[in-house]
Amino acid sequence: MNDKLRFKYYIALALGVLVLINVLANRFFVRLDFTEDQRYTLSETTKDILKDITEPITVTAYFSEGLQPQFDQLRNDFKDLLAEYASRSNHQLVFEFINPNEDAQEEQKAVQAGIQTVMIEAREKDQASTKKAYMGALVQIGENSETIPFIQPGAQMEYALTTAIKKMTIPDKDAIGFIVGHGEPTLNEQIQVIQGLEVLYVPEEVALSDSVNLSKYKTLAWINPQDSIPKEHFTYVEDFLNQGGNLLVSFNKVDAQLNQGMGFAKYTGMGNWLQKQGLTVNEDFVVDANCGSVNVQQRQGIFTVNRPINFPYLPILSNFADHPITQGLGTMIMQFGSSLTFSGDSLSTFTPLVFTSDKSGKQPAPVYFNIEKQWQERDFTASKLTVSGLMEKDNHKLVVITDGDLAINGSGQEVRQVQPDNANFLVNAIDYMSDDTGLIQLRSKQVKMRPLDQLDDGDKNLLKILNFTLPILIILGIGIYRYQRRKFTRLKIKGESYV
């Protein structure tokens, strides 16, 4: 075979391989994911849900076009995700993309379906303008439908789509009771937690009394009681636990009064009752070197500016036990939490779930809050204090969180968005106790926050000195090198002139 024929042979072989690859790619969807946390890989939960689909699913994606590059990328990412869903569901899922900005009737359909209208700044012909845009989807199975008002990038895209499908494929949902009547927040004041629960359950408010049937609930949640709790109400809950029920308690053993600059112990009766169960929430304030900040107003000339100051009473929590409840969690933020210790007998099993960092401490109540305090290493002599745990005894489970405000959004003018993993932790705990852990992996799947390692004061000072002196030393070194090099060159030329 001469070189010309060999060349044609290789060209034909290469074209054949490319054709084969394209045929296989059309039949089998493959995505290579090299990220450490596998953010572009479908979770096992999603795969299981798609595998069990028996009815066709129609996804109508309403996406505006011609926006900024990041929004066009979001559209492409969602399209790729839908293609993978279609492949995993044996093509039971079909989808189409519609640009509502091109057709008034389609825009009206999108609005009626609940797709959120967003205003995006755009630049056309060197002029800034505001453009109305849509980035949502309508998911339909038979006569049922769920709307994703706004598609968020990353792992939240998969969670929104899978939960929309899951909601429509559950025939009967179990009820979860939220105890009220002692100053607890309403369901509307815990909207992030409630939205997470509504995929699998029906959250309900329940007031404790001798006429209430608690056996209809798999799990009860007792969130942030403010008033004194009657003893008979604890008796009702004990009977519920003895019959195989489960309980989540999130409450404050201490109360921070920032307007007074003081923190005090708080008495509702919950602490004493938990101690009888074998869990002691201590009357102390947990502090942590890895913490959030508060804004303090300061005068600078004629201006008043807000300056963020680290406040160790707001610990950032990233140490979690290897447990289904904490699977995939990245970061939680606690407000004025307390330490938790196990004081039960050998018949109970205790699992610490959430810990402070290696540089933490606790201060017994009462406490005086000094915003301007210069915190030192000696203030953080403790390590990995437990702030939440799970106790299992006989046929029931009890999860305790030492911060009642952990996932409360509030209402009216005081409404706030809580850290997503704060809400995820509560929902995961209820899932686990209710024997349904299917969405825990997916709910907590996200791009992890990776904070920088904390440095001690000595290392900080060394880095400051190096940061200041190293550039100067480098410049001096370059100058000395160039001076010596020129000097050597001159001497060499001078020596050659004598030859």
Per the listing, tokens 């307390």 go with: 338
Assign 45 a pLDDT band (cuts: 50, 70, 90): confident
Domain end, chosen from 166, 201, 216, is at 166
| Interstrand relation of 246-250 and 396-401 (parallel, antiparallel or unpaired) | parallel
What was the pLDDT predicted at 4? Answer: 67
Distance CA 257, CA 268 (A): 17
Flag whether pLDDT at 31 surpasses 80: no
Q: Which residues pair with residue 342 across a beta bridge? A: 279
What was the pLDDT predicted at 219? Answer: 96
Domain assignment present for 498: no
DSSP 137-185: EEEEETTEEEEESSPPSTHHHHHHHHHHHHHHH-SSPEEEEEEESSSPP
Q: How many domains does the chain have?
A: 3
Cis peptide before 225 (omega within 30 of 0): no
Q: What percent of the chain has pLDDT over 70?
A: 88
- Residue 197 parent element (H or E): helix 191-197
**The total number of residues written for the chain in this structure:** 499
Residues whose CB is less than 8 angstroms from the CB of residue 251 and which lie 6 or more positions away in sequence, other chains included:
222, 223, 224, 225, 268, 270, 271, 281, 401, 402, 404
What was the pLDDT predicted at 233? Answer: 97
What was the pLDDT predicted at 172? Answer: 83
Phi, psi values for residue 29, rounded to 5°: -85, 125
Q: Does residue 101 share a domain with residue 84?
A: yes
What was the pLDDT predicted at 461? Answer: 76
Q: What is the mean pLDDT of residues 343-370?
A: 93
What was the pLDDT predicted at 276? Answer: 95
State pLDDT tens for residues 139-191. 999 888 999 999 876 657 888 899 889 888 887 889 999 999 999 999 999 99
Domain assignment present for 416: yes
Domain end, chosen from 134, 166, 198, is at 166
Q: Does residue 189 share a domain with residue 132?
A: no
CA distances from 264 to 198, 222, 256 (A): 36, 22, 7
Tokens of 374: 């210069």
Q: Does residue 339 share a domain with residue 416?
A: yes
State pLDDT tens for residues 200-247. 899 999 999 999 999 999 999 999 999 999 999 999 999 999 999 999
Domain assignment present for 477: no
Domain end, chosen from 424, 443, 462, is at 443
Predicted TM-score of the model (pTM): 0.73
Assign 447 a pLDDT band (cuts: 50, 70, 90): very low
Tokens of 204: 């309900």
* CATH code for the domain of 105: 3.40.30.10
State pLDDT tens for residues 113-138. 999 998 887 666 556 677 889 999 99
Q: Does residue 221 share a domain with residue 162?
A: no
The domain of 2 spans 1-30
Domain assignment present for 497: no
Q: Does residue 131 share a domain with residue 57?
A: yes
Flag whether pLDDT at 33 surpasses 60: yes
Q: What is the mean pLDDT of residues 332-356?
A: 94
Q: Does residue 207 share a domain with residue 129?
A: no
Which of 17-31, 177-191, 254-268, 361-375 is predicted least confidently?
17-31
Assign 296 a pLDDT band (cuts: 50, 70, 90): confident
- Residue 19 parent element (H or E): helix 3-27
Q: What is the mean pLDDT of residues 76-81?
A: 90
Q: What is the mean pLDDT of residues 379-404?
A: 95
Mean pLDDT of the chain: 87
What was the pLDDT predicted at 68? Answer: 82
Cβ pair 193, 151 in contact under 8 A: no
Q: Which long-range contacts (CB under 8 A, 24 or more apart) does 372-377 make?
A: 372/296, 372/309, 375/289, 375/310, 375/312, 376/457, 377/456, 377/457
Domain assignment present for 473: no
Q: Does residue 80 share a domain with residue 138?
A: yes
Q: How many CA atoms lie within 13 A of 180 on its CB side?
A: 13
